[in-house]
Structure 1
Amino acid sequence: MLHKILCVDDDPITLMLYKMVIAKASFTEEIITAKNGQEALDYYNNLRAEGESQSPELIFLDLNMPVMGGWEFLDNFTKSEYQEFNAKTKVIVLSSTIDPTDIEKSKTYSIVIDFLSKPITKEMLEDLKDRL
């Protein structure tokens, strides 16, 4: 079981579904949510400011969000200023469309370990448990 994960998605219903499925699968002890990439970066900035060492081990990341989308979040999060976090964090891109271009682009980020289609399922989480 993971200690903490971060779910980044602009749809509150999707976030609620993630929480329910993740809890049923006993996948993590704590679920943090953010409505867009900027909120997620703000979360990490707050962790740094508070001197918090326990950051999420996994991020479920949507691509299409207002304010800051998934690609922009990845571009920022993989910069050296977030090295202390991205060195120990893996990302799963979750998207409602499986565009081959997006799948290929996701492979250019070393922290992205998979590109999956929404919605998240208990079976997906069971498979992830085995891989993590």
Structure 2
Amino acid sequence: RASRASERSVISGSTKAASGRAAAAFSAAQSKIGSPYVYGASGPSSFDCSGLTSWAYAQAGVSIPRTSEAQADAGTRIYSESDLQVGDLVIFYGDFHHVGLYAGNGQVLHAPHTGAVVRYEAMSDMTFEFGVRI
């Protein structure tokens, strides 16, 4: 019930891609929905969180750092969720140990944790720190 409600609710945030590169990266990541999370994996058949984001941007011809902590400094920081655009990196938790791609409407596309698969999830399920526009 909660997931259906979050899909229907109107949450602040753009559904427009941040750039052509961001759109291409997001599209690449979408093609990996259902792929298993494996710690330290960077594709093409399994991923951890930063492995997914770095692989996705590589498919768009953009090299970004491999770890979520380094990705936090890879572009322009965006502190307001309402300013995020599709394909922006979203950094979670105070130590920046998790990253995903903004999917629009308050959703993130990410590789969440061991035992899970690449999927969409409500950003409100995690502690948002900031976005990064590449």
Tell me the TM-score normalized by structure 2.
Answer: 0.28
Structure ranking higher on relative contact order (CA contacts 8 Å, 6+ apart): 2
Tell me the TM-score normalized by structure 1.
Answer: 0.28
In terms of fraction of residues, the more helix-rich structure is: 1
